């Protein structure tokens, strides 16, 4: 039938048009603007009067190198000296024995080029390092003793590869929450076991890279809660399980919610100065010489989220928090604010934590922090 329809004569008549269409498509393709390229420029340095300023970036799902570069450029121009970034193990070592460093290389090389120091948060277990799903269904946040050795090897490889740019290696995220611990009851001793595997291997591979433990979620979960464990309780349990010898610094999460940064802490409330209770525990267990890196903190200015503040308050509190850390917490090296930018709009209150929109437009808080960091006019919080 096709032969009947497409006679040779018809084809001959159609051929010139086909050739023209192909030529036109070729010309259009040729003149189309090239996608933006991320050409590495000369090495930059961060200009800041407040090196404590740091931000948690969200480049994990940022695919285009030019956006990674532009984001880190904006971080540097704002005057932040360091970033925290998440590097999922499952993305880098999707198959056992093979590493795909391409995306991590993009982030680390551009960060280094911008003069930024990096805290790499490692987590997310690949399928091959988790139990057979036919035996036990697990989430990507699940890791057990069978996976510790492989995770330690990955952490060591990561530390060795990026030692020059790393300021710290944060082991796991918020293990005191059930869902961050693979939807199991949380297990401080189990987490310490993980540290015991990782610490010597990272030190052997990259002795100068500090290993950061903790990164606990501030939470008031009551004893026996299926959702998680109070962060203070969890940290004490970590020390009792012998954690002290297996990390160089503690990563701390401390959000302000509705409170200003100087609001008095309390055991039954969550606010910025809850970090002081964390510090007290460190001192009590003889770990007072170790520094703290606040790897998540901040305020939210969503118009209707119950834990949000007004936009102007968010800006003021953020600047006051930097001052507080500099003046009151000599044990805290960095204050990393969550979050600099999301790759995509979240469509909810999470968007109101950011400094820059997904399309790279800076918000007033960015300009306020920049003015403060760079020592420009009107910088008083």
Partner 1 sequence: MQSFRRRSRRAQIAIVLLAALPIAVLLVWLVFGRQGDDIFDEVHRRGALYVGIEGDNPPFSLLENDRLAGLDADLARALAEALGVEVHFVVMGYDGLYDALAVGRVDVLISALRVDPDWWEDFRYSVPYFDAGQVLVVPDGSGIAGPADLEGRAVAVEFGSEGDVWAREQQRRLKELHIQPYDAPVAALDALADGKADAAIIDSISARLYGRAGIEAVTTVSAEPYAVVTRVESAHLRAALDAALQAMIEDGRLDALIARWF
Task: Give contact residues for partner 1 (rule: CB under 8 A).
Answer: 1, 4-5, 301, 304-306, 310-315, 345-349, 361, 363-365, 367-368
Residue whose C-alpha is closest to residue 293's, from 122, 121, 151:
121
For partner 1, the closer CB: 276 or 367? 367
91-98: list long-range contacts, CB under 8 Å, 24+ apart: 91/60, 91/124, 92/154, 92/158, 93/126, 93/154, 94/126, 95/126, 95/128, 96/126, 96/128, 96/129, 96/150
In this complex, which beta carbon is closest to partner 1, that of residue 326 or of residue 367?
367
Contact status, residue 106 vs residue 67, Cβ threshold 8 Å? no
User: Any idea what the Cα angle at residue 231 is, between residues 216 and 353, rounded to 5°?
Assistant: 50
CA dihedral 219, 261, 248, 111 (to 10 degrees): 110
Give least dist CB 360 to partner 1, A: 14
**Least distance in Å: CB of 371 to partner 1?**
13
**CB of residue 14 to partner 1, shortest distance in Å:** 14
Measured from the CB atom, the residue of 101 and 349 that comes closer to partner 1 is: 349
Beta bridge partner(s), residue 122? 87, 171
Q: Which CB, 33 or 347, lies closer to partner 1?
A: 347
Spatial distance between the Cα atoms of 61 and 63, rounded to a whole number of angstroms: 6
Sheet strands (E) in the chain: 53-56, 82-88, 117-123, 166-171, 211-216, 249-255, 292-298, 332-338
The minimum distance between CB 188 and partner 1, in angstroms, equals: 30
Q: Which residues contact 284 (CB under 8 A, 6 or more apart)?
A: none
Least distance in angstroms from the C-beta of 345 to partner 1: 6
Give least dist CB 51 to partner 1, A.
25
d(CA 57, CA 360): 13
Q: Round to the nearest angstrom and report the end-to-end CA distance of the chain.
A: 80
Residue (193 or 301) nearer to partner 1, CB? 301
Judged by beta carbon, residue 160 or residue 362, the one nearer partner 1 is: 362
Distant-in-sequence contacts of 31-36, Cβ < 8 A, 24+ apart? 35/64, 35/66, 36/64, 36/66
Q: Least CB distance from residue 255 to partner 1, whole Å?
A: 16
Nearest-5° Cα angle at 288, 287 to 289: 95
- In the bound state with partner 1, the residue whose beta carbon lies nearer, of 44 and 379, is 379
Closer residue to partner 1 (CB): 306 or 327: 306
Q: How far is the CB of 313 from partner 1 (least distance, A)?
A: 8
Taking alpha carbons only, the member of 103, 203, 187, 98 closest to residue 152 is 203
Q: Residue 347 Cβ, how far from partner 1 at the closest point, in Å?
A: 3
Which of 142/257 has CB closer to partner 1? 257
Structure tokens at 171: 């082991």
């Amino acid at each position: 039938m096709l032969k009947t329809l497409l006679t040779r004569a018809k084809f001959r008549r159609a051929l010139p048009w086909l050739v023209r269409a192909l030529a036109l498509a070729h010309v259009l393709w040729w003149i189309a603007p090239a996608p933006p390229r991320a050409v590495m420029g000369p090495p930059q340095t961060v200009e800041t009067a407040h090196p404590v300023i740091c931000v948690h970036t969200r480049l994990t799902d940022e695919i285009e190198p030019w956006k990674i570069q532009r984001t880190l450029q904006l971080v540097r121009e704002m005057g932040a000296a360091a970033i925290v970034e998440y590097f999922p193990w499952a993305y880098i070592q999707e198959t056992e024995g093979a590493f795909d460093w391409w995306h991590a290389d993009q982030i680390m090389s551009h960060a280094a080029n911008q003069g930024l120091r990096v805290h790499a948060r490692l987590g997310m277990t690949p399928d091959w390092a988790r139990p057979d799903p036919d035996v036990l269904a697990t989430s990507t946040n699940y890791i057990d003793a069978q996976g510790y050795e492989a995770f330690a090897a990955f952490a060591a490889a990561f530390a060795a590869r990026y030692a020059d740019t790393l300021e710290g290696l944060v082991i796991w995220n918020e293990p005191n929450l059930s869902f961050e611990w693979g939807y199991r009851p949380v297990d401080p001793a189990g987490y310490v076991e993980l540290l015991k595997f990782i610490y010597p291997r990272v030190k052997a591979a990259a002795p100068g890279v500090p290993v950061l433990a903790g990164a606990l979620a501030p939470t008031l979960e009551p004893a026996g809660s299926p959702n998680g464990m109070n962060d203070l309780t969890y940290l004490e349990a970590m020390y009792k399980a012998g954690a002290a010898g297996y990390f160089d610094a503690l990563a701390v999460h401390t959000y302000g919610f509705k409170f200003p940064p100087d609001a008095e802490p309390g055991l039954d409330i969550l606010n910025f100065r809850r970090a002081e209770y964390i510090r007290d525990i460190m001192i009590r267990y003889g770990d007072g010489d170790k520094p703290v890196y606040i790897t998540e903190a901040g305020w939210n200015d969503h118009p209707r989220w119950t834990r949000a503040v007004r936009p102007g308050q968010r800006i003021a509190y953020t600047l006051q928090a930097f001052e507080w850390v500099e003046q009151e917490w000599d044990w805290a090296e960095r204050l990393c604010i969550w979050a600099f930018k999301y790759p995509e709009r979240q469509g909810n209150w999470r968007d109101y934590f950011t400094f820059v929109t997904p399309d790279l437009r800076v918000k007033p808080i960015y300009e306020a922090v920049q003015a403060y960091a760079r020592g420009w006019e009107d910088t008083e919080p």
